[in-house]
Amino acid sequence: MLSDLKVKLFADGADKAQILKWHANPLIRGFTTNPTLMRSAGVTDYEAFAREILDTVKDRPISFEVFADEFTEMERQARKMAMWAGNVFVKIPVTNTHRHSSIELAGMLAHSGVKVNVTAVLTLDQVRSAATALAGGATSLISVFAGRIADTGRDPMPVMAAAAEIVSGHSNIELIWASPRELLNIFQANDTGCHIITLPEEILVKLQNVGKDLQDYSLETVRMFHNDAAKAAYKL
């Protein structure tokens, strides 16, 4: 079933061992990171980590995110990251922490040859603005955080379908379903026309469950409950 999908699977994380593991899997077509994931993984030297990963990940796109809040420093960081390797996409957050739009910067970078990934996008207005700015520039990505939309009680499917329609008019832009919450999101991303879905380790390890026989899965669940009760030595 996975081989029938049009959506590309990207591994999302900053653990070196996990990145190298998934790099060996041909199902994984690219990689994404962010400062939060890097901090959680214990990364202390941003550039050293990135260059170490790039020594292995040379054949697939990988996104690294700027961490400055002022646009002049964002630009400096973005241009430096873009020089690390030809497969680097530079993540630019859709706004800075003061809610000032980063779209103008993202567009300028894209039109100067930097591969941009506009990230932390949650609204269709943001998608439209990003698509307009990136259109005609370098190959770029727009990461819509569908999982965070779902976390607010809203159905992300209509938003992602509309976002895919907006992006479809621009040959240099691909749409990412970001922040997934479950394996099902892969198939939802595919159905809505997203080009890419980013998957953390906890979802990637569930890929083996795709198409699994539900009767067998039911039996595994029953055995799990039984074995755990036995291990706990419960008595009534």
**Active site positions, annotated:** 91
Residue showing tokens 């795709």: 210
Residue 92 — φ and ψ, nearest 5°? -115, 115
**C-alpha 63: how far from its chain's center?**
9
Instruction: Describe the chain by its helix, strand, coil percentages, rounded to 5.
Output: 45, 20, 35
Burial tier of 204 (Cβ tally within 10 Å: 0-12, 13-18, 19+): buried
AA identity, residue 138: A
**Which residue do the tokens 């039911």 mark?**
218
Diameter over CA atoms, the chain? 72
Q: Distance between CA 71 and CA 95 in Å, rounded?
A: 10
